[in-house]
């Protein structure tokens, strides 16, 4: 890269991962250690690609009568990753036969069909008839309708899901994808601006985090193409979005990213400026402090 400086940015970031707090952000406050819940254990197994363990754990949660739609979704994701969706179908058919009023199970069946490129609309409609507030079923119904190019209805479904559970970021990503398929990607940003002005703040934050994630991915792509100046621009815009939604972790991540990028170009003055801004927000940020020490 520029000036022959080793790729520090490359070492700290991965274009296909979520923001790595281990790499560039230390926690603002110490967190006590608690045992993982069964659901957290199942999700951790999935993230570690121990799919059979994840299937076993999610199945146990469901069979113990504690499985909500999120547990069913986790189970189907694990079956899909293990390339065992046929087994997932068998499990769900058996479960539904003994639990015919389970909205989460009908949602999971519809989701399973969707992943197999089949029509899960009937199962999702059944899930919603049993529980109109099943936000995961609403979001999945939106995806099914968008696949059929029924965009207005799809948007309505996803927005209902967001209104019920505004913290689920993949709902916003689904909405963004629908607008893109509709040929109107700018609508997502326009709506973000509207929610910034009029709220609710939780929805503005969801839109903002989704936009920031897109800018982060854009920055990685530009960086991989050795377009460092353009990457800096993308991360600067990401920083602005995180400021707008008052997301401290995102602000710190963006500032440290900018420090790394400027350092890689040989612009030590700007690099140090951004590292110091990181420390103003989070004095315990070890990497930023070490970077500044290296400059002196």
Q: Is residue 162 part of a domain?
A: no
Q: Are residues 190 and 292 in the same domain?
A: yes
Q: Is residue 266 part of a domain?
A: yes
Whole-structure pTM value: 0.86
**Residue 14 pLDDT:** 42
Q: Is residue 147 part of a domain?
A: no
Lowest mean pLDDT among 17-21, 33-37, 81-85, 93-97: 17-21
Residue given tokens 């999120």 in the structure block:
70
- Measured between alpha carbons, how far is 266 from 284 in angstroms, rounded to an integer? 25
Q: Whose CA is closest to 56, among 89, 27, 33, 79?
A: 79
> Three-state secondary structure along 43-68?
HHHHHCCCHHHHHHHHHHHHHCCCCC
**Residue 10 pLDDT:** 54
Residue 31 has pLDDT above 90, yes or no: no
Lowest mean pLDDT among 86-100, 157-171, 189-203, 282-296: 282-296
Q: Are residues 213 and 277 in the same domain?
A: yes
Sign of CA dihedral 43, 45, 46, 52: negative
Residue 25 has pLDDT above 90, yes or no: no
**Using 50, 70 and 90 to split pLDDT, how confident is the model at 296?**
confident
**Residue 295 pLDDT:** 86
Q: Is residue 170 part of a domain?
A: no
Q: Number of folded domains in the chain? A: 2
Q: What is the mean pLDDT of residues 18-45?
A: 62
Residue 216 has pLDDT above 90, yes or no: yes
Q: What is the mean pLDDT of residues 242-268?
A: 96
Q: Are residues 22 and 47 in the same domain?
A: no
Q: What is the mean pLDDT of residues 271-289?
A: 95
Longest CA–CA separation in the chain, Å: 69
Q: The CATH number of the domain where 79 resides is what?
A: 1.25.40.10
* Cβ neighbours of residue 37 closer than 8 Å, sequence gap 6 or more: none
Q: Are residues 18 and 56 in the same domain?
A: no
DSSP per-residue codes, 54-108: HHHHHHHHHHTT---HHHHHHHHHHHHHTT-HHHHHHHHHHHHHH-TT-HHHHHH
Residue 171 has pLDDT above 80, yes or no: yes
Pick from 109, 131, 153: which residue ends a domain? Answer: 131
Domain residue limits at 206: 1-30+185-296
Q: Is residue 176 part of a domain?
A: no
Residue 19 has pLDDT above 60, yes or no: no
Q: What is the mean pLDDT of residues 140-150?
A: 97
Q: Are residues 212 and 110 in the same domain?
A: no
**Residue 16 pLDDT:** 29
Pick from 131, 147, 173: which residue ends a domain? Answer: 131
Burial, 6: exposed, middle or buried (Cβ in 10 Å; 0-12, 13-18, 19+)?
exposed
Residue 20 has pLDDT above 50, yes or no: no
Q: Is residue 163 part of a domain?
A: no
**Residue 34 pLDDT:** 73
User: Structure tokens of 146?
Assistant: 């968008």
Q: Are residues 291 and 190 in the same domain?
A: yes
Q: Is residue 43 part of a domain?
A: yes
Q: Are residues 87 and 2 in the same domain?
A: no
Q: Whose CA is closest to 160, among 185, 180, 177, 140?
A: 140
Pick from 98, 113, 131: which residue ends a domain? Answer: 131
User: Structure tokens of 176?
Assistant: 């963004």
* Cβ neighbours of residue 235 closer than 8 Å, sequence gap 6 or more: 215, 216, 219, 254, 257, 258, 261
Q: Is residue 178 part of a domain?
A: no
Q: Are residues 246 and 272 in the same domain?
A: yes
- Measured between alpha carbons, how far is 221 from 223 in angstroms, rounded to an integer? 5
């Amino acid at each position: 890269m520029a000036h022959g400086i080793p790729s520090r940015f490359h070492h700290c970031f991965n274009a296909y991962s979520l923001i790595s707090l281990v790499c560039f952000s230390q926690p603002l406050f110490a967190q006590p250690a608690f045992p993982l819940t069964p659901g957290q254990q199942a999700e951790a197994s999935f993230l570690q690609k121990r799919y059979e363990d994840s299937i076993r754990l999610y199945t146990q949660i469901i069979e113990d009568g504690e499985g909500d739609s999120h547990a069913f979704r986790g189970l189907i994701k694990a079956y899909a990753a293990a390339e065992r969706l046929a087994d997932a179908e068998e499990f769900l058919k058996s479960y539904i036969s003994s639990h015919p009023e389970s909205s989460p199970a009908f949602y999971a069946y519809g989701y399973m069909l969707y992943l197999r490129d089949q029509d899960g609309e009937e199962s999702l409609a059944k899930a919603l008839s049993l529980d109109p507030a099943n936000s995961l079923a609403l979001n999945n119904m939106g995806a099914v309708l968008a696949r059929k190019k029924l965009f207005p209805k799809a948007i309505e479904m996803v927005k209902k899901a967001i209104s019920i559970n505004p913290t689920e970021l993949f709902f916003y990503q689904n909405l963004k994808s629908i607008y893109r398929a509709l040929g109107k990607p700018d609508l997502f940003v326009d709506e973000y601006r509207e929610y910034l002005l009029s709220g609710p703040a939780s929805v503005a934050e969801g839109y903002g985090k989704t936009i920031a994630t897109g800018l982060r991915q854009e920055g990685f792509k530009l960086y991989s193409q050795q377009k460092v100046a353009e990457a800096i621009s993308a991360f600067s815009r990401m920083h602005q979005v995180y400021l707008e939604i008052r997301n401290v972790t995102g602000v710190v991540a963006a500032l440290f990213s900018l420090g790394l990028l400027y350092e890689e170009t040989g612009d030590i003055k700007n690099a140090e400026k951004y590292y110091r801004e990181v420390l103003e927000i989070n004095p315990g940020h070890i990497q930023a402090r070490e970077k500044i020490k290296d400059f002196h």
